[in-house]
Amino acid sequence: MPDGKGKPLWTSRRGFLGRALTAAGTAIAAPSLLNAQAKEKVTDSLGEGEMQVTLTVNGKVRTIGIEPRVTLLDALRERLGLTGSKKGCDRGQCGACTVLIDGQRVYSCLALAVMQEGKEITTVEGLATGNQLHPVQSAFIDNDGFQCGYCTPGQICAAVALLDEVKRECGSAVTPDLTQPPQLADLSEAEIKERLSGNLCRCGAYNGIVAAVQQATGQTPPSPAALMLGMEQEARL
Ligand code: FES
Ligand code: FES
């Protein structure tokens, strides 16, 4: 029987029932379909050979897909946009890539990113508190602890760890008596140089770097004039 629009009524009813069943079927199948789609999406976002890794960097949790061979330095710079940590040698010789992992200094070019899940990673970008620089950062500025600045993020992270190591009474290769490790107030120039010997500065801003650490320990660093005089004397030798 025509339905008044040129279509038989049974066709409309069958069409209605079909649509109803299709809708019901979709509703029943929806959760599993959605889950499958979600899984597909995660898998889709991973490139060939990549795995999902969750890193906690400067207090923020970030999940990325990376190959297991990617270093922490590359993950920070290339995937998380944190370019403060620098790539100097990429083989553990210069210290430009130094970051803190659970408070300890680490060459991030020698650490695999996939092994850092569950650890607290701090880069130079995470040292300041709001607009307030970390005391070590301020000390580097006050004492001209840099020239080109390429090594500076690593030097600063290493210096932050150095202060913590002294507070924890860790000795160094030049500590005369390991049963009596130095305190911050009496940390000698030789101790600072030894403890920062894993961070190279191709500009040779070492005098300013040592003075910055002295300031950060609470000591009075030599004046810029005294530093210049010392550099001139060194150059004459
Ligand atoms: S870049 Fe890592 S130690 Fe040189
Ligand atoms: S300031 Fe240039 S490498 Fe250190």
Question: What is the pLDDT at residue 222?
Answer: 87
**Contact (Cβ atoms closer than 8 angstroms) between residue 93 and residue 49:** no
156 CA → ligand 2 middle, Å: 12
pTM of the model: 0.79
Q: Is 94 close to ligand 2, i.e. is its CB under 6 Å away?
A: no
Between CA 227 and CA 54 the distance in angstroms is: 45
Domains 51-126 and 135-236 share a fold: no
Helical H segments across 46-133, by residue range: 72-74
Between CA 153 and CA 134 the distance in angstroms is: 12
The fold of the 135-236 domain, in CATH, is: DNA polymerase; domain 1 (1.10.150)
Class for domain 51-126, per CATH?
A: alpha beta
Between CA 235 and CA 210 the distance in angstroms is: 18
**Domain residue ranges of the chain, discontinuous segments joined by +:** 51-126, 135-236
Between CA 111 and CA 100 the distance in angstroms is: 11
237 CA → ligand 1 middle, Å: 31
Q: Show pLDDT as tens, one digit a residue, over the chain (237 residues).
A: 444 444 444 445 444 444 543 444 433 444 444 444 444 444 458 989 999 999 999 999 999 999 999 999 999 999 999 999 999 999 999 999 999 999 999 999 999 999 999 999 999 999 999 999 999 999 999 999 999 999 999 999 999 999 999 999 999 999 999 999 999 999 999 999 999 999 999 999 999 999 999 999 999 998 877 777 776 777 776
Q: Is 148 close to ligand 2, i.e. is its CB under 6 Å away?
A: yes
Question: What is the pLDDT at residue 39?
Answer: 42
Q: Which ligand is nearest to the CA of 148?
A: 2
